[in-house]
Amino acid sequence: MQWLVISFNNINISVQVGDLIFYVATTSSAGGFDFSNAPQLLFGTVIEINGAELTVEYDDTNNPNPPPSAGDYIMFAKDQCINKSGIKGYYLKARFVNNHKHKGELYSVGTEVSESSK
């Protein structure tokens, strides 16, 4: 097993230890980046988060995918064994804020809630 530390300018606050890391090679295009024809490659598992740095553990002997390189698009997926259900509990409070100068409209809000004990 090997470890790779990946640094970001900004990191998604939803990423957790145990999440699976995928990446896709990007190519420059007129509008930004294009990776529509590239496969998503599984790289490894997050084992540590330190600020905007992820430490990823990967199997360097059995993994056919090389480590991601600078400019590759990094994404993550939750481990389905750990994150099986939605919000649990009896009480939920939500606050929606519009930080724009103009009026905003909210058409729908939905959630999946399960009672944690009963």
Write the pLDDT tens digit of every residue in 53-63.
Answer: 999 998 878 77
Residue 101 lies in a domain: no
Separation between Cα atoms, residue 60 and residue 48, nearest integer Å = 18
Give the pLDDT band of residue 48 (cuts 50, 70, 90). very high
Residue 11 lies in a domain: yes
Count of helix runs (H) and strand runs (E) in the chain: 0, 9
DSSP state, residue 92 = -
Residue 87 lies in a domain: no
**pLDDT at position 96 over 80:** yes
Residue 63 lies in a domain: yes
Task: Write the pLDDT tens digit of every residue in 53-89.
Answer: 999 998 878 777 778 888 788 888 887 766 665 666 6
> Which range of residues forms the domain containing residue 37?
2-77
Question: Hey, what are 41's tokens?
Answer: 């490659």
**pLDDT at position 28 over 70:** no
Position 75 scores a pLDDT of 87
Separation between Cα atoms, residue 28 and residue 40, nearest integer Å = 17
